Structure 1
Amino acid sequence: MAGNPLAALNRARLAWRRWRRTRPFWAAIWTALGGLVILFLPLAPLGQLLHVGIGGISGMAGGAILMALALLMLVLPGQRYTAGVIAVIVGVASFPLTNLGGFFVGMFLAILGGSMAVGWMPQKPSGRRRLFGRRPAAGGAGGTGGEDEADGPDGVDAAVVAVRTAVAREAVEGGAVG
C-alpha cells in the first residue's frame, strides 16, 4: 500500500481549507448563485425568448456576467473590490431589467456576494507573538545581515526593539513590575 488513505484525505482537506481561506470564497459562491438564479429563470425556448424581449436577453447577460465575476473573485482575489462593486451594480440593475432580479432572490444573492467581496480581507498568518515583540536572530546569536534582519516585528527598527526590551527587563529586575 502507498499510504494511509485517511491521511491523504486529511492532507487534501487541509490543502482545500488553506486555498479557500486565501480567497473571497463565500462571496464568490453567493455571487455565482445569484447569477444562476438570474440566468436560468428567463431561460425558455428561443421562440418564447424572442417574445420576452429585453428581460430575457438582459437576464442571460446579467447572469453570465455575475458568474464570470464569481470566477474572477476566486482566480484573482486581488481584484475583489472591482468584481464586488460590479456584482452589486449588476445585481441592482437586474431588478428593472429582468423579472424583478430573479424574483428578488438573484438580486439579493448578487448584492450579498458583491458586498462580501468588497469587505473580505486576506487571513493574516497565524504566527505566535513573542513577549516584548522579540524574535530570535536569523543568523544565530548576534545575527548579521541586511535590512531585512535590521527590522523587528511590524517593521520596527531592531534598535527600538532592543531599547524596549532593555526597559522592560530593567523594570522587571528593579521590582517596578510585580
Structure 2
Amino acid sequence: MSAESTGSRGFTYWRLRFRAWRRSRPFWAGLFTMFGGVPIAYLPYADVRLGNLTIAMATTAGAGSLIIGVLLVTLGMTMWFHTVVRVFAGVAAIVLALVSLPVSNIGGFLVGFLFALLGGALSISWMPGPPPSKAAKHGVNTAQVGDDADPYMEEPRPDEGSDPNVTETTAHADGGRNSAG
C-alpha cells in the first residue's frame, strides 16, 4: 500500500467518527446512568469470601434492585440512541436513583445512586448544538469570512410597518385585512 491510498481507515478516522457521534447526543449522561445501574443491580447479589467466611449482601428486595439496575442501563442506552426522549429518560433516571436508596442497599452504597443522579441531571440539561453554518460545512474558517455574529442570536425580522406600536401579535389582529387599503 502506498502512502496516498485510502484502502485502510486508520485509528484517526474512527476516533473522529466516534467524536462526532459522541457530540451529537448526551453521551456522558448515558454513560453515567449506565455506570449507576451496574452497582445497584449487582451488589444485592454479590458475595465476598474471606477465607472460609462468606459475606452475602442479599436483601429481601433483590428483585427490585435488579429491575432498577436494568432500567437504569436501558435508560442510559436510550439517552444515546433516542436523543428526542432525553428529558424523559433523565427524569426517570433521577426517580429510579431516588427509589434505589431504600430498595437496594442505599442505592448501591451511594455509588450507583450518585452516578445515576448525575447522569439523569446531565441528560435533562443536555441540548443539541446549533447546526453548522454553510461556511463550516465547506471547510471555510468563519474568522476568514468575517462573520463575528453570535451563532445563538436570532436573525432580525423585517419591520411589519412604520407603526412602532405594531407587534407580532397585533400585526395580524385585523383578521388578515390590509389596514392600508
TM-score (norm 1): 0.66
1 or 2, which has the higher helix percentage?
1
Q: Secondary structure in 1 aligned to 2:119?
A: helix
Aligned counterpart for 2:23 among listed residues 11, 21, 43: 21
Gaps of 5+ in 2: 48-54, 134-141, 160-181
What is the CA distance between 1:126 and its match in structure 2? Answer: 4.3
- Structure-to-structure mapping, 1:43-54, within 5 angstroms: 43-44=45-46, 52-54=59-61
What is the CA distance between 1:11 and its match in structure 2? Answer: 1.7
- Structure-to-structure mapping, 1:100-119, within 5 angstroms: 100-119=106-125
What RMSD, in angstroms, separates the aligned Cα atoms of the two structures? 3.0
Partner in structure 2 of residue 90 of structure 1 = 96
Distance 1:79 1:103 in 2: 29
What is the CA distance between 1:52 and its match in structure 2? Answer: 2.6
Cα–Cα, structure 1 residues 154 and 130, in superposed 2: closer, same or farther, change >3 Å?
A: farther
- Structure-to-structure mapping, 1:34-73, within 5 angstroms: 34-44=36-46, 52-54=59-61, 56-73=62-79
Distance 1:35 1:28 in 2: 11
Distance 2:97 2:45 in 1: 18
Distance 1:90 1:64 in 2: 11
Cα–Cα, structure 1 residues 101 and 130, in superposed 2: closer, same or farther, change >3 Å?
A: same
Number of residue pairs matched by the alignment: 136
Percent identical across equivalent pairs?
Answer: 33
Distance 2:123 2:148 in 1: 36
What is the CA distance between 1:121 and its match in structure 2? Answer: 0.9
Distance 1:7 1:98 in 2: 45
Cα shift readout 1:48-69 (whole Å, capped 9, x = no counterpart): 99x7322x11110100000000
One-letter identity of the residue aligned with 2:76:
A
Partner in structure 2 of residue 173 of structure 1 = none
